[in-house]
Chain A
Amino acid sequence: SQQGEEDPQALSIQEGENATMNCSYKTSINNLQWYRQNSGRGLVHLILIRSNEREKHSGRLRVTLDTSKKSSSLLITASRAADTASYFCAHPTSNFGNEKLTFGTGTRLTIIP
């Protein structure tokens, strides 16, 4: 399976603390994307980092990419209760010309007020 993995599977932290999630993937990539999903709803795109970028920021989000280790991390600083959600990494994969976006297994983040 080309599906990447994320760790931890679940994370609970106090409001105001920082949360770090990691994503590992198996193939070479053009870009890696992070999405958030609130309980049973659609996904919301957070950030896209290209393979030639090492770090990217968006508000309280910081994403890093290490293509040599085939891994990425998402850092959420100063967490809020509204950050409670599942977070997924995703990257394009190609198989004999058939392309798709492959999602990781996700990290369920719970922010404790």
Chain B
Amino acid sequence: KAGVTQTPRYLIKTRGQQVTLSCSPISGHRSVSWYQQTPGQGLQFLFEYFSETQRNKGNFPGRFSGRQFSNSRSEMNVSTLELGDSALYLCASSLESRWFHEQFFGPGTRLTVL
């Protein structure tokens, strides 16, 4: 079974631009979560989607948004990029929407904002 894939793996953008990251979950998984990882803040939860609906949301500004498609693939978008958005963005998939199951993580997208 193929693992979670994320594209692109690396991205360089400038302040003010927007960016879209993509995540393909493991086949059969309907829950996709997104996390931001930085040296200062650690792993922070962004949001979780299940069956095309956002079920849970972290404490991030509205510049961070996401969506999930009918095939469970998910995208997250960050508008008006700031220097502080430089981070490793991880997505994870799971069988269900509750946190009773292990999360399968992708390799991440390294975003650098200049």
Contacts and interface: CB of A to CB of B under 8 A. Distances in A.
Interface in B73-98: 88, 90, 92, 98
B49 interface: no
- Chain A CB within 10 Å, residue with most, of B92, B99, B102, B107: B99
B63 interface: no
Given A88-B43, A98-B57, A101-B33, A41 B108 contact: yes
A30 to B, nearest CB: 7
18 contacts: A30-B99, A33-B103, A40-B108, A41-B108, A42-B90, A42-B107, A90-B43, A91-B99, A92-B98, A92-B100, A99-B48, A99-B99, A100-B58, A100-B99, A101-B33, A101-B99, A103-B43, A104-B42
Interface of A: 3, 30-31, 33, 35, 40-45, 48, 88, 90-92, 98-106
